[in-house]
Structure 1
Amino acid sequence: MPHPLLRSLLPLVADLSRELPDEERYRRLLHSLRQLLPCDAVALLKLEEDVLVPLAVDGLSADTLGRRFRVSEHPRLKILLYGHKPVRFAADCELPDPYDGLLDGHGPLEVHDCLGCPLIIQGQPWGLITLDALDAATFGSVDLDTLQAFASLAAATVMASERIQQLLRGFEEQRQLVEVYKRVAGGHAPRELIGQSPTHKRLQQEIALVGNSPLTVLITGETGVGKELVAESIHLHSPRANKALISINCAALPETLVESELFGHVRGAFSGAVAGRSGKFELADGGTLFLDEVGELPLPVQSKLLRVLQSGQLQRVGSDQEHHVDVRIIAATNRDLAEEVRQGRFRADLYHRLSVYPLQVPPLRERGRDVLLLAGFFLEENRVRMGLRSVRLTGEAQQRLVAYRWPGNVRELEHLISRAVLKALVTPAERPMMVTVEAAMLGLDSEPVIVPEAQAPDVEHDPLPTAGEGLKASVDAFQRRLIEQALERHQGKWAEVARELGVDRANLSRLAKRLAIR
């Protein structure tokens, strides 16, 4: 017959070569320990800074997994952790036992026999194994060398488990990086934020400011304004730029899968979960997580997201074990989340957690002649894609683009330019190498032509001043017309007019008074 120690160690040695979820590996470890050293309860705890976190328990109440034992507050655990060898506490030891009243099914009873051993990995204390019993004589005949041998293999087990998880996370990160490289190779590299308007420059200044901070950012704006590009730019301006930026579209997932995608799951957590999987939070550890369309999250998931934001601790679906993550959150939505809160569709506490730094991305209609810069970018993309020598817009086509209101914003412009180039390409009998996009090819004939809200003055197309009117009178008339048009667009809101024109509110008031504008 094999020695009892050997009998308990053999299954653990076999488990080292098997792919098992952490929870199952640790459960088997504690089960083998109880077979080797029968007792009422065992626990495996991991040291995280000055706190011992239970990873697995057997014989202790389920809520023990949610407890955190600060080493400085538990002298028995401190002695075990830094004693470098197994320690048994005498039955009459006056030091408080952290497990008193926690033995499963025994009510508020005190532990009477306590034994423990540190797990040492690479010369440093990693955590503890503890054994407890109600009978004061339970561990009287225990060979402490046997426990030490078991602890050595236990340390190897937990180290192997952590290495496996590191490899899996690394594999998943590399897989996502491969996807990014594929997009780059296919011409879909992350785009720069293009524009020269005062509105766009203010946005870039805010991105640079908040990017270099650890603050959570809530990006708001209409559909198609480029909120994801803004999130990428914030990440690139941050100290986490060399780490992963992981994105998830909260609106693109079924409600049943959102939680698993965010937090991961263990094998068997639900039908189809044949293997454990890391969630987006774990993949983004050390980097940034971009929650696109965060306003679409179901209320039950919102509460779990709030907990992660508050503590940095998460649990995979189907698991009691907690993981700590260091993730910066950038969220985006085209909804009015404040109104969603009032309507009871979004948690107020989560809204305030996400909107530490709110960032509004302006619609394209407020960016004036930036539309032509963006059109040039998309024209060049199509030129390369279609193997052309040149693609240009006529003057009339440019005017149409500047005058259009763009309800679909930059995304609409991108698609419109692609269609227009294709139309221009197939119009001639022979395929040309130099393509001209006419105004009619834009398909904007039947669309409302409305002056953009932040259009810079187009001196070339504005009416000339009356002959003999004089420079000052002409400038005054031009300024008056510009301010009155802005007032009309903003329904008389002077603060928004000042913001659009890029002037101080007080200076605008003085100018309006001089120009006799009510």
Structure 2
Amino acid sequence: MTATKILHAVIPLVADLAQDLPERERLRRLLAALRTLLPADAVALLRLEGEWLRPVAIDGLVPDALGRRFRLAEHPRLAQLLAAGQAMRFEPDSSLPDPYDGLIAHHGPLDVHDCMGCVLQTGGLSWGLLTLDALEPGRFADAAALDMLQAFSNLAAATVATAERVQQLTQMAREGAHPTLTESNRSEPEMLGHSPAMRQLKKDIGLVAASDLSVLITGETGTGKELVAQAVHAQSARADKPLVSINCAALPDNLVESELFGHVRGAFTGAQSERRGKFEQADQGTLFLDEVGELSLPVQAKLLRVLQSGQLQRLGSDREHHVDVRVVAATNRDLAEEVRAGRMRADFYHRLNVYPLQVPALRERDSDVLLLAGYFLEENRSRLGLGGLRLDAQAQSALLLQPWPGNVRELEHLISRAVLKALSRQTTAASSDSQAKRPRMVSIGVQDLWEESPASGPAPASSSAVPKELPVPEAADDTGLRERLQSYERQLVADALTRHQGSWAAAARELQMDRANLQRTAKRLGIERS
């Protein structure tokens, strides 16, 4: 019976190895097969990256778990699993904290009571871990469970190796098989997100990074434009050369030329020695011009020459210097409108805008909100030395329904504030005397994310305030969080359109959304345009 069960789970996975599947789908099938073999409430596949373990696929955990990063020094269970080199199980009464306490989906702030895991090895090296967790003590007590997990780990290792190889071949085909772009020698900043908008952005980054074209990154404030610039540099042939950044908005007009092109001794009062500018510092590498829309017209004119020919002169010198620099610029302004208004030179704009990259707003990234929230929660947990941090179901719903005018930066600050509020509230509630003790598990609710001011009433929507009691509709027991949220969104959009007799513009104003974004949301929810 057991052998038959294993065959039924393994045969489809073996067939998948020869299929051209998206990486996420391949790994999802892997974890689904594992859960058919072993009675786990949650399974996770984590990749080893230096001193960190990063979840790349989860099944049975809350969505924000996929955004968390586990430092080995802070998670002794994961460190022991890696050190063991083979499948091992922790006794239910183990005193070691479990990183998944409170993170099992649909079960609230419950602790894990049975845990086992196994190292995955590819090419003779530790690739990462498979972990299985159960809320019921003794779920994995059967000795055959460890043997089954150990046997399954070999197939899992082959699956992840196939997924990586397919990804590398796709990348090489897209970028002309450039030898410097292999995974082994790339040090790329992580860009969190699996939404269609982020997948398209990552694809565009990989496409343009292999060239030397100038890149103009646009997007609202707080979307992560600097991170995109770092990714372009990291994936380019210049990755081992300098990436020099300069904030154009912070440059005084009288120092712009010196900062960009350098100066010689005596060029101006205070110039006591010769100095290279940012362009020369970035020679052979990349120069990132942040807030490029803030540069004045005279400075734009002086930049044109170096953008066109790579020739520059230090301030106070007649000597020519030649630089080989790839320019990446970023702005939250509409530069085409700036050109029409006469605040930007058209030739300068076109020199920058050779390959545009639009960074999507957070409200356009769907469930990436919870993934990012998980990342910031783990950062705060580590910084504050807490046992665990979790978002309750209502807080998750509230985060997904926000418009996020401040984007990722707003979310980061919101989570940091909410952690401190929840910690203070739960520490006070748990203390019966003057010696308050920190709770091991801190749960964040809507009241920690937003609160109303008694004096002035609810904060305006631009301050990201929501009601303390979010009216999430009731649903059947077999309906997940995503389905319930979609149903609620569908109801809100349909009601707004009904109230405004089908006017998209009026409904968008009521819902505090961009009209085009509302129409895209309606299309996703299956609401037909009348």
- 2:457 maps to 1:459: no
Q: In structure 2, give the amino acid aligned to 1:283.
A: Q
SS state at 2:263 partner: coil
SS state at 2:273 partner: coil
State the alpha-carbon separation in 1 of the partners of residues 203 and 315 from structure 2.
40
State the alpha-carbon separation in 2 of the partners of residues 494 and 400 from structure 1.
21
Question: Counterpart in 2 of 1:434?
Answer: 441
Q: In structure 2, give the amino acid aligned to 1:248.
A: I
Q: Is the 8 A contact 1:263 1:281 kept in 2?
A: yes
Q: In structure 1, give the amino acid aligned to 2:373.
A: A
State the alpha-carbon separation in 2 of the partners of residues 325 and 497 from structure 1.
46
Question: Counterpart in 2 of 1:234?
Answer: 232
Q: Is the 8 A contact 2:389 2:443 kept in 1?
A: yes
Question: Counterpart in 2 of 1:412?
Answer: 410
Within 5 Å, give how 1:286-365 maps onto structure 2: 286-365=284-363
Q: Is the 8 A contact 2:508 2:515 kept in 1?
A: no
Task: Select the residue among 232, 244, 252 that pairs with 1:254.
Answer: 252
Task: Select the residue among 186, 206, 220 that pairs with 1:208.
Answer: 206
Q: Is the 8 A contact 1:247 1:289 kept in 2?
A: yes
Q: List per-residue Cα deviations over 1:65-97 (Å, max 9, x = no partner).
A: xxxxxxxxxxxxxxxxxxxxxxxxxxxxxxxxx
Within 5 Å, give how 1:467-506 maps onto structure 2: 489=508
Q: Is the 8 A contact 2:242 2:286 kept in 1?
A: yes
Task: Select the residue among 363, 367, 370 that pairs with 2:368.
Answer: 370
SS state at 1:206 partner: helix
Within 5 Å, give how 1:157-176 maps onto structure 2: none
State the alpha-carbon separation in 2 of the partners of residues 416 and 401 from structure 1.
10
Cα separation, partners in 2 of 1:324 and 1:501, compared to 1, 3 Å: farther
Q: List per-residue Cα deviations over 1:156-175 (Å, max 9, x = no partner).
A: xxxxxxxxxxxxxxxxxxxx
Identity level (%): 61
Q: Is the 8 A contact 2:216 2:357 kept in 1?
A: yes
SS state at 1:378 partner: helix
Question: Counterpart in 2 of 1:380?
Answer: 378
SS state at 2:483 partner: coil
Question: Counterpart in 2 of 1:193?
Answer: 191
Q: In structure 2, give the amino acid aligned to 1:350.
A: F
State the alpha-carbon separation in 1 of the partners of residues 377 and 329 from structure 2.
30
SS state at 1:251 partner: helix
- 2:263 maps to 1:274: no
Q: List per-residue Cα deviations over 1:470-491 (Å, max 9, x = no partner).
A: xxxxxxx9xx99xx89996599
Q: Is the 8 A contact 2:188 2:234 kept in 1?
A: no
SS state at 1:458 partner: helix
Question: Counterpart in 1 of 2:243?
Answer: 245
- 2:239 maps to 1:223: no
Where does structure 2 lack aligned partners over 5 or more consecutive residues?
1-186, 428-435, 453-458, 467-479, 489-493
Q: In structure 2, give the amino acid aligned to 1:195.
A: G
Q: In structure 2, give the amino acid aligned to 1:458.
A: R
Cα-Cα RMSD? 3.4
Which entry has the higher C-alpha Rg, 1 or 2?
Answer: 1
Q: In structure 2, give the amino acid aligned to 1:430.
A: K
Cα separation, partners in 2 of 1:231 and 1:492, compared to 1, 3 Å: closer
How many Å apart are 1:458 and its aligned residue?
3.2
State the number of aligned residues: 303
Q: Is the 8 A contact 1:400 1:444 kept in 2?
A: no
Cα separation, partners in 2 of 1:260 and 1:444, compared to 1, 3 Å: farther
State the alpha-carbon separation in 1 of the partners of residues 481 and 231 from structure 2.
29
Cα separation, partners in 2 of 1:272 and 1:224, compared to 1, 3 Å: same
Cα separation, partners in 2 of 1:315 and 1:235, compared to 1, 3 Å: same
Q: In structure 2, give the amino acid aligned to 1:431.
A: R
State the alpha-carbon separation in 1 of the partners of residues 259 and 327 from structure 2.
15
Q: Is the 8 A contact 1:221 1:333 kept in 2?
A: yes
Cα separation, partners in 2 of 1:463 and 1:248, compared to 1, 3 Å: closer
Q: Is the 8 A contact 1:281 1:325 kept in 2?
A: yes
State the alpha-carbon separation in 1 of the partners of residues 523 and 354 from structure 2.
25
SS state at 2:199 partner: helix
State the alpha-carbon separation in 2 of the partners of residues 441 and 493 from structure 1.
28
Q: Is the 8 A contact 2:397 2:485 kept in 1?
A: no
Cα separation, partners in 2 of 1:461 and 1:309, compared to 1, 3 Å: closer
Q: Is the 8 A contact 1:199 1:500 kept in 2?
A: no
Q: List per-residue Cα deviations over 1:288-333 (Å, max 9, x = no partner).
A: 0000000011211111111100110011111111100000000000
Q: List per-residue Cα deviations over 1:480-511 (Å, max 9, x = no partner).
A: 99xx89996599999878977999xxxx9xx9
Cα separation, partners in 2 of 1:408 and 1:498, compared to 1, 3 Å: closer
SS state at 2:229 partner: helix
